[in-house]
Each structure stands twice: as structure tokens, then as C-alpha cells.
Copies of this chain bind each other. A is one copy, B any other.
Amino acid sequence: MTKRGEEIQRQVLAVLRQSSTPLSAYDLLDHLWDSHPKIAAPTVYRALAALTGRGSIHRLESLNAYMACQCGSHPHDSILSICGDCGSVGEQVSPDVLEILSGLAQASGFTPDRHVIEVHGVCGICTGGAGAA
């Protein structure tokens, strides 16, 4: 996985970092075609899998899209707040929340492994700036 794969991954990560909103796998595919003419879907999905596995990017389950990690990279789950107006996504890290959720689950015998926490709403900019109050 040394040569080509890493280059694709770097490019995917770069595109996601430059985007103000999450991008779908096929959005990324379009971008890649600028520099790599014949990339196909599985190539992008492989890069996305590697990057998510490493924590460099996060998948938005409720959007079927991907975003760069805003903390750079981290091993834990985070809380994503998705603006339904402008599409921007904020990332929060809160061990406390994960702790509480894990506790809740464990109370019913469940052993948590991964937390998906996505909050839909309207971001501060859209609330204050343009949206109706």
C-alpha cells in the first residue's frame, strides 16, 4: 500500500480539508478525475476506508458523506453537528458524553464499541446571519 494508494489518500484528505461541507464518495471521485483520469469507485472507497480507520476523516452516517477530522486525527468518537441550512458540520469531542452513553448501554448488558452521534439543526452563522429569528 505504499505508492499509489497513499497518493490517492492524500488527495482525498486534501479535498475534504478544503471543503466547507462533507462530500460524498462520488463527489470525491469527480475531484480525483482531475488528476487521475480513470479512477473508479472502489478506489475511492478503499481510500476512505483507510482514512476513516486511521481517524483522519469521519463518515457522516446520516448523510452518506465524509468530512476531514477537525482535530487533525484522533482515535475516539466525536459528536458532529450538521447545519441543515448551509451544510457545514462542527465537531465536538466529549469523553463525558461517551461515558454516559456507554453507561446507559451497559445498564442493559450491552457492550459499546463505537458511537454514532450526529446532531441535526442550524448553525450559529445561519441562525444569526440570515435565517429568520
Q: So how many copies of this chain end up in the complex?
A: 2
Taking CB atoms and an 8 Å cut-off, the chain A residues in 35-92 that contact chain B are 61-62, 79, 81, 83-84, 90, 92
Known: A81-B110, A110-B124. A105 touches B119 (CB 8 A): yes
Judged by a CB distance under 8 angstroms, whether A97 is at the interface is: yes
Cα–Cα distance between A128 and B109 once the two chains are bound (Å): 9
B119, A115: Cβ atoms closer than 8 Å? yes
CB pair B119–A101 under 8 Å, yes or no, is yes
Given contacts A113-B84, A116-B61, A118-B116, contact A124 B108 (CB under 8 A): yes
With A and B bound together, what is the CA distance between A132 and B118 in angstroms?
29
User: Which residues of B lie under 8 Å from residue A101 when comparing CB positions?
Assistant: 79, 97, 117, 119
A residues with a Cβ closer than 8 A to B are 61-62, 79, 81, 83-84, 90, 92, 94, 96-97, 100-102, 104-105, 108-125, 127-128
